[in-house]
Each structure stands twice: as C-alpha cells, then as structure tokens.
Amino acid sequence: MTPAGPPAGFALWALGFRPFYLLASLYSAAGIAVWAVQFLGWLPSGAYLQGYLWHAHEMLFGYTVAVVAGFLLTAVRAWTNQPTASGVPLMLLAALWVAGRILVLTPNAMAAAWVNAAFPVAVAIAIAVPLARSANRRNYFFAGLLVLMGGAVLAFHLANQGALSLPPRLGLLAGLDIVLFVMAVMGGRVIPMFTNNGVPGTNARRTLATERLALGSVLALLAADLAQAPAAAIGVLALAAAVAHAVRLWLWQPWRTVRTPLVWVLHAAYAWIVVHLALRALSAAGLVGESLALHALTLGAIGGLTIGMMTRTARGHTGRPLRADRFEIAAYGLVMAAAVVRVAGGIVVPQAYVATVVGSAVLWSAAFAIYAVRYWPVLTRPRLDGKPG
C-alpha cells in the first residue's frame, strides 16, 4: 500500500496561529533585511516612520504582536472549549494587521496610529468573548494586556507626532514590558510542563515565592517605566527582577534539556530575559548602552520564545509529532546566534558596531526565512489527523 500524502485542502483561516505565524515569519525575515539595508544607508525612505523608530515599531507592534495574537487566538480556544476567530473574522483581523504595516510606510500618520492601535484591541475583543462565555477568569488579564498594548501603540504615535509631550521611547518601553510580562506568565506555565513531559526524569519545579517575585518584579518595572522613574530606581528593580528570574530558571533545570531542541530553545530564550534584566540594571548605572539590554530582550528572549512556540504549537495543532527536525534546529541556532552577535558583539568589540548589527540582521532573517518556507505547507494545509483547527 502507498502511504497517504498530506491532506488536501486550504486551511489557512481555520485557526488563529495559521495566518499570524506565517505573516509574522515572512514579515520578520523581510523587515529585518530591509532594516539592514536602510541602516547601511543604501535605501532612503520617505515613510512616516523612518530609521530606528520604524525598525523598533515594526518588530514590536508588527512582528511580536502578530505572534502573540496567533498564540492567544489558538490557546483561548483550547482553554475555553469555545470557538475563536476563523474564516472571515480571522481574515479581517489579518487585514487590519497588514493595513498597519502598509500605513507606517505612507505619510498618513494619524491613520497609521489608529489602525496599529486598533489591532491589539480587536484581538482583545476576539479573545474576551470566549473567555467571558466560559467564565475563564484566570485568563481575563490577557485581554486587558492587549488593550494596554493598544494604548502603548497610540502613545508612541501621538508622542512621535508631537500631540503628546512624552518621548516616543516611552511607548516602546511600555510595549516591551508588556510583552516581557506575557512571556514571564506563559513561560512559567509551559516551560516546566514541557520540560517534565519532554525530558523524562527532569524535576522542573515552581515555588510560590519565586513566581510572585518574578512576575511582580516585571509589573513593578513596567510601572516604573511608565512613571519615568529615576535611573537608580530602574536599576534596583531590574537587578531584583534578574535575580528572581535566574532562580526561576534554575528551578526548571535547563541543563537537562540540551538533547531536546523543542525544549532547550525555550530555556535558552528565557535565559535571555535574565540577561536583559541584568543589562538594564547595568545600563541604568551607565555601564552599558541601553540598546544592548533591549536587544537581549528582543532578539534573544522574544526571538527565541516566539520561534520555539511557533514551531511547537504549529506542530501540535496540525497533528504532527512534537520533534524538531534539522530545519527547526537551524532556525533556533540562527536566532540565538543573532542575539549573541548583536549583544555580546556590542560589548566585546564595540568598534565593530556596524558589522555586528548587519551580521545579526542576516542571521535573524535567515532563521525566519527557514521557518516561513518550512511551515508554509504546514500552516496552509488541514491537520494530518483530520481534526478541525
């Protein structure tokens, strides 16, 4: 008998992770490549957002928020046993996200502001309905965080246009802190579980005191950033948070996961949270540049956790075995290498700044190009087991 091939049909709009993981990976690979060319001065731009502001905005409010949207639209269905956006409603959400990417390349500043702020709010509404129907109070806060993210987007744009007497950087910092809190919450829920399930004999643990300190310190840092607290206060909070998250990671026993790529990539990414917080403390003391701390978070932690969860959840929700192949391992390695080149390179060889920025961009783009090519058929075809989603 000839083994059956992949199921026929088109399933891109069946569940939230499908379009948003694909769009995010394609945009991430292309967007960072464009940024590298702009950084070298080879591509002038007449867009509303230019230079590092466009780069920061698109990687945070474009790429990262798309992955968060795809993950939550998928996870909420599993948490509540209620349907989430699919078909036309999911197409409309994706169209809103795409419109935001286009508008920041035009002179239409206010349109760009409102459309980009509307996307996380629209996703919040899309997940709030099934959460409310199922009385899933434990996860209501995700909808609130998405609304807060919409506020951060709007604040960034209004500040950039001079309508708010705040620095645009504040909106970016608030958005990054919100994403950091989401990663801290979800990391605490899934990394110990995935570790114990994927690496038999591992005793990844959680303690109530450590959990409270880890999550509370991130919320305190968010509040301090919003209040524009003095550098000394930021430094103390960041250092305390770094210690709390280091202890949390130690309890998960990351050294036992090196032979299981689907698990070690999550541990490696979480370790970058500790690095980010430690560098934020050093930055507040004037010992390192703030850019290094932010790129430890964006490339190492966000990049690692998103590529790890995009592969794991896509495999799980399409009926595939939870095992990384050589393409996925290559993508993991490239993301981690991009973070090391950008952060460690900036510390060890600061005179090679341009080379580290461009080299990191090439590694990152290659990683997400691999994901997009490898997962295009996975994300667009029906599940292998014939189940819906």
Q: Indicate the length of the chain as a whole number.
A: 389
Cα(208)–Cα(2) distance, integer angstroms: 53
Which pLDDT belongs to residue 49?
A: 82
Which pLDDT belongs to residue 9?
A: 87
Cα(183)–Cα(68) distance, integer angstroms: 10
Helices (H), 134-230: 140-160, 168-198, 208-226
Which pLDDT belongs to residue 2?
A: 40
Which pLDDT belongs to residue 322?
A: 93
Helices (H), the chain: 17-39, 51-57, 65-80, 87-103, 109-133, 140-160, 168-198, 208-226, 231-251, 261-284, 290-295, 303-316, 326-348, 353-380
Which pLDDT belongs to residue 6?
A: 62
Name the percent of the chain in helix, strand, coil, to the closest 5: 75, 0, 25
Residues 66, 23 contacting (CB under 8 angstroms): yes
CB atoms within 10 A of CB 230: 11
Domains of the chain, by residue range, sit at: 17-380
Residues 189, 176 contacting (CB under 8 angstroms): no
* DSSP for 8-30, written as a single string: PS--TTSSTHHHHHHHHHHHHHH
Q: Which residues of 204-225 are buried (b: 16+ CB within 10 A; e: fewer)?
A: beeeeebbebbbebbebbbebb
Residues 17, 69 contacting (CB under 8 angstroms): no
Q: Which of 89, 277, 28, 52 is nearest to 168 (CA)?
A: 52
Per-residue pLDDT of the chain (389 residues; tens, 9 = 90+): 444 556 778 999 999 999 999 999 999 999 999 999 888 877 666 677 888 899 999 999 999 999 999 999 999 999 999 999 999 999 999 999 999 999 999 989 999 999 999 999 999 999 999 999 999 999 999 999 999 999 999 999 999 999 999 999 999 999 999 999 999 999 999 999 999 999 998 999 999 999 999 999 999 999 999 999 999 999 999 999 999 999 999 999 999 999 999 999 999 999 999 999 999 999 999 999 999 999 999 999 999 999 999 999 999 999 999 999 999 999 999 999 999 999 999 999 999 999 999 999 999 999 999 999 999 999 999 999 888 88
Q: Does the domain formed by 17-380 have CATH 1.10.10.10?
A: no
- Residue 128 tokens read as 């709030």
Which pLDDT belongs to residue 1?
A: 40
